[in-house]
Amino acid sequence: MRCPNCGFSDSKVTDSRSVEQGVRRRRQCLGCGSRFTTYERVENLNLVIVKKDERREGFNRGKLLAGIRKACEKRPLPVGTAEKLVDDIESELHRLGQAEIPSSVVGEMVMERLKTLDHIAYIRFASVYRAFTDIGSLKQEVDTLIAGSQLPLLPNKG
């Protein structure tokens, strides 16, 4: 952990406390004496995801992030949107406090959030996740979106 002020690589911890996603540490640089705070996150939740075919696998933040990033590709969303979304979902999963979570629950959490952010990203994610088998079910999803539109698909004119 390098000092943000002078770059010195050694510091002492003056305070340490647990926060929702990891540990917050107050540090003091042993080089220049300046104080700074670090947040050390727990990389992966100790959580088991139960897939549709009952197979189990450890929760993988990177995999979830990759899927969301892909759905959000080239959409006019602020930098860090996908990361924030994953953080949000991790916190919620953490709050649920269950050792095993069905993958469908995680998928619904993602879609619920994408729906309010960007409809195209939502449809992209849903089409992979729900594996629309025909154009009819895809159209139905789009129609539902338009009917209950929280975000306009196209800018309103006048």
Beta strands across the sheet bearing 35-41:
11-19, 22-29, 35-41
- Cβ proximity to Zn ion, 6 vs 151, nearer residue: 6
Q: Can you point out the beta strands (E) in 56-156?
A: 56-58, 100-102
For position 29 contacting Zn ion by CB under 5 A, the verdict is yes
For position 11 contacting Zn ion by CB under 5 A, the verdict is no
The enclosing H or E element of 11 equals strand 11-19
Q: Please tell me the distance from the alpha carbon of residue 14 to that of residue 11, in angstroms, as a whole number.
A: 9
Q: How far is the CB of 31 from Zn ion (least distance, A)?
A: 4
For position 102 contacting Zn ion by CB under 5 A, the verdict is no
For position 3 contacting Zn ion by CB under 5 A, the verdict is yes
- Cβ proximity to Zn ion, 3 vs 72, nearer residue: 3
Interface positions with Zn ion (CB under 5 A): 3, 5-6, 8, 29, 31-32
